[in-house]
Structure formats: structure tokens, C-alpha cells
Structure 1
């Protein structure tokens, strides 16, 4: 007969108790947790133990910690959107530390965004489609040095991911797009801007026509174009010289 039960360390006990309170909604979204001193009193442990438990919960995306006099620890939303934020933060750390490089993030993004476009073509609704058209219209009417261009690009790709109907997929695309942010790396000349908008228009048309294969082909062409120019910008070489390498690095079988 098994009578034993795993004995948790004080930090793990505190972490599990707080996690249970969050996941059971005893602590609601946006609610501020008691101070470290108060939590230490309630649990009968030291403040460093509380600090370790809170750091672990922050890493899991369950709380956010705000410094300063009006700060503290606050409960994060627990849904598919918060999944995207957790993945984004983790990916950001990996990229900045050099554990993974831009090309790896970019390739995974392509593997996810291509099926997103196909699913969007199958599942699209008029409201989402109109929002997508409006983004492209905004892109056409703004100059390439407009600070809104980067935000519009994020919105374009995020809307398509949302239109896929798969919330987990949409969350991952959001996270990866945020960390590979194509526009941040591109030399946005008027020519590059025109090509990008034209590619966006082809993607929208394929989704509007409910043509998954055309949507796959259009977004694959678009992402390959972006990767070619981004790699050139990062390596400080002419984009034309990196074209062959970008095409060779495109995921096989994604063109339908």
C-alpha cells in the first residue's frame, strides 16, 4: 500500500496554492495579489520564498509584476491570447540571448502562416474580410516611412491567423510574427512597399474567392519575398544576392 506522498518544498507549495487560486478564479483576472510581506505572513514562509514562487508564476504567464510604488503582482488573463503573450516573451528571450536565430523563427512562421491562409479562405466571414481589406487600403494610402506601417503589417497577418478559426494557431502566429517583425528589418523603399501591398492584395483576393490553394501560393510567395529582403538587410548585402538562398530555404511542399 502506497502511503507516501511527495513532500513539496515551501516555494512549490506557495506556487501551487497561488496557481490553484488563479485557475479556479478565486483570484480574478487583473486582481492584485497581496504584497510579498503579506503573502509571507499568510503562508508562514520567508519573503525570498514568496519572491521565487511569484517569479515562477510570472514565467508561466499567470501573473505580471509591475515595479514601483503603485505596482505589485497582478493576475493575467488565462486564455488563448495570453498563450500568445507567453510564447512571445519566451521567444523574445531566446532570440535576444542568441539561443535561436531569426532564420529559425522566420521558417517556423512560414510553416504556420501558410496553413493559416488556407484555413482563412475556407472559414472566412464577411466582417473579418472587410477588416482585412481596410488594412490593405490603409497600407496603400500611407508612405513607407509612416510609423503605422509596421502596426498595419502586424494587423494584416494577425487577422488572417484569426480567420483560420484555430485559436492556438492564431496565438502562435501572433507570437512568432511579433518577434520576426518583417517591417522592422526591411529597407522600405517605395518599390518594396508596392510589392508588399500587391502581395497582400493577392492574398486577400484568394481568401475572398475561398480558394485555399491560391491563398497558400500567395502567402508563400509573400513570405519568401520578405525573407529574401530581411536576410539581405541582416547580412548587409544586396537583396538580389540573397534571393537564391531564400528560395532554397523555403519549406518544401508549402506551395500546394
Structure 2
């Protein structure tokens, strides 16, 4: 005899309502993650000690330690050693996004999963519209930041340890001036992993030419000329890529 069709009430009662039971470590990890994402745990806030967390969650310290290690790998907390150390909530914003993207790219490049030329090409695809947007949306404060960076670049030698950081700050400042925080995060990540000055010795000629190109980019951004800004950034990135290729063939 055929079984009668379920009524509406029976169908509702038979729908799946269960949730997969997870291990204690995963439960601790998920609860702390939710507190961070909800804002209940603020950036920079220190979590309770492992022993106290174990008491609150009613789990072992080993379980808490594994959960914190997983959250650290996800860049949600920082684990700092020492008497004043502990586990601190990291900022979850567009700057943190850039850092996480950069770390992921670094691992992919180290493993050979992607090629540096692929990353460099994507960087150019993003830095060109970023510079155009900066020419349209820049503020006087943005211009001041860019000028200060270039003025510092003009006063130091190419072997100064500040060169890589100043170059990164220059390109990050342009991306910030674009007004698009997600775009700025991607540019930050891509730049940190592809810029030649991070792993090549620049000649005085290359260093001087790079600074001149930076000045041309600022001039176009100051004049609110997106076309000139695009032309200047393409010339700069092409010059650096050719320098990288030349250095790699030596």
C-alpha cells in the first residue's frame, strides 16, 4: 500500500535542522572568531590567559592553545611572548586585508604555485586605474604625503635601507588617494611582492630615474589629469620591469 503524502506540518517537521557536531577546538575557534567579527572583541584587545579561557570554555588548555594557533594563522589575533605578552585581537579592516593578501601571495610565490610575472602584470592592471582615480579624487593631504615621500627619496642614496619602504609608501599613498580602500589593499599586497627594489641592488642611475618618474606621477595627480597620470605610471612600471629583466639576465 502506498504511503500517503506528508502533510505540510509533517514536511516542516522533517526538514533538516541539525548542525554537524564539531570538535571542542573548532567550537572555541568559532566562538572567538564570531566575537571578533561582531566587534565585541576590539582591535588591540588582549584575550584572557589560556588557563582562564580553558576555564570559561570548560576545555583543556591544549584545546585553547590549538584554537588560538588557528586564529593566529587566519590573521585574526597576534600571539606575543613575554611577561606583557598574550593573544591580541588584530585589526580587521582594509589595511589588514592588504597584509593578509600579501602574506598569501608570498606563500604562493615561495611554493611556485604562481609566477612572479603573473603577479607583476596584475599589479600593473590595478595600479593604472588606481593612479587615474587618484588624479580625480586626491586631496591636498594626499599630495602632501606624496611630496614628503619623494623629498625623502631625493636625499638618500640607493643603498639606504629606507629605499624599499619609501617606494612601498609612495605607491600605497597613490592607491589610498584613489578613494577605493579595497583597491588600495590589493595594490599594497601586489607591490610588496613584486617591487624590484625589495631584492635587487639599484644603480644610482636607476634610483635617480625612478625618483624623476615619481615626480612626474605627482605632477599629473596634482593637475587632476587622469590621462597624464596613466601615462606616467605605465612608464614607471615598464621601466622597473625592464630593469628587473635586465638584472635577472646578468
Shorter-chain TM-score category? 0.7 to 0.9
Where 2:158 maps in the other structure, the secondary structure is: coil
Separation in 2, partners of 1:111, 1:94: 20
Instruction: Give the CA deviation at 1:231.
Output: 2.8
Counterpart position of 2:106: 92
| Range that drifts further, 193-202 or 163-172 | 193-202
Counterpart position of 2:193: 179
Separation in 1, partners of 2:224, 2:74: 38
Instruction: Give the CA deviation at 1:125.
Output: 1.0
Match of 1:134 among 148, 155, 158: 148
Counterpart position of 2:20: 6
Decide whether the 8 Å contact of 2:210 with 2:236 is kept in 1. Answer: yes
User: Residues 153-204 of structure 1, C-alpha deviation per residue, up to 9 Å, x if partnerless?
Assistant: 1111010000000011111111221222321233311211121112111111
Instruction: Give the CA deviation at 1:69.
Output: 4.3
Separation in 2, partners of 1:155, 1:142: 15
Aligned residues: 236
Match of 2:240 among 208, 226, 238: 226
**CA-atom RMSD in angstroms:** 1.8
Separation in 1, partners of 2:235, 2:105: 25
Counterpart position of 1:118: 132
Counterpart position of 2:230: 216
**Gaps spanning 5+ residues in structure 1: where?**
238-256
Instruction: Give the CA deviation at 1:55.
Output: 2.4
Separation in 1, partners of 2:66, 2:169: 36
- Go from structure 1 to structure 2 and tell me whether the alpha carbon gap of 1:101 and 1:68 turns closer, same or farther (over 3 Å shift): farther
Counterpart position of 2:184: 170
Separation in 1, partners of 2:81, 2:211: 41
- Go from structure 1 to structure 2 and tell me whether the alpha carbon gap of 1:70 and 1:181 turns closer, same or farther (over 3 Å shift): farther
Counterpart position of 1:247: none
Does structure 1 residue 148 correspond to structure 2 residue 162? yes
Report the TM-score, using the length of structure 1 for normalisation.
Answer: 0.85
Separation in 1, partners of 2:81, 2:118: 33
Does structure 1 residue 56 correspond to structure 2 residue 76? no
Where 2:189 maps in the other structure, the secondary structure is: helix
Separation in 2, partners of 1:64, 1:38: 18
Separation in 2, partners of 1:146, 1:44: 53
Task: Point out the structure with max Rg over C-alpha.
Answer: 2
Where 2:127 maps in the other structure, the secondary structure is: helix
Runs of 4+ in 1 over 4 A off after TM superposition: none
| Range that drifts further, 139-148 or 151-160 | 139-148
